[in-house]
């Protein structure tokens, strides 16, 4: 009887009517409010003279709890990757230019 009380519900994923969005990003900007966090995913298109060009791809808004859970998930994933493949090293000097602010 105790096992029935602890049984987890079945999980089912459904695609939105517009389908699932697939995109690529190699840069992210974040913004926050009292209730949630916004992540703007961009692709760096290139550098011309003293200008870095970004293409905005998608913006995702998460409540703080989901952001914390995502942070834990990503930390675990990176740690697992580095355990198998060695440390991920950022190029030096690693200073991302300031991108446009979130709108």
In a domain, 64, yes or no: yes
Residue 83 pLDDT level (bands cut at 50, 70, 90):
very high
Give the SS3 label for residue 44.
strand
56-69 tens-digit pLDDT: 999 999 999 999 99
Kindly state whether residue 4 falls inside one of the protein's structural domains. no
Band the pLDDT of 90: cuts 50, 70, 90: confident
Burial degree of 38 (CB within 10 A; 0-12, 13-18, 19+): middle
Residue 48 resides in a domain: yes
Joined tokens for residue 23: 């995109």
Q: Is 95 contained in some domain?
A: no
> Which residues form the domain of 67?
20-85
- β-strands 27-32, 51-63 pairing: unpaired
């Amino acid at each position: 009887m105790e096992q029935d009380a602890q049984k987890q519900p079945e999980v089912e994923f459904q695609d939105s009517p517009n389908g699932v969005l697939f995109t690529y990003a190699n840069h992210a900007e974040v913004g926050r409010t009292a209730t949630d966090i916004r992540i703007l995913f961009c692709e760096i298109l290139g550098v011309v003279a003293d200008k870095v060009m970004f293409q905005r791809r998608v913006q995702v808004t998460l409540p703080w709890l989901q952001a914390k859970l995502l942070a834990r998930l990503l930390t675990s994933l990176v740690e697992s990757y580095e355990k198998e493949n060695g440390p991920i090293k950022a190029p030096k000097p690693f200073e991302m230019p300031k991108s446009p602010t979130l709108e």
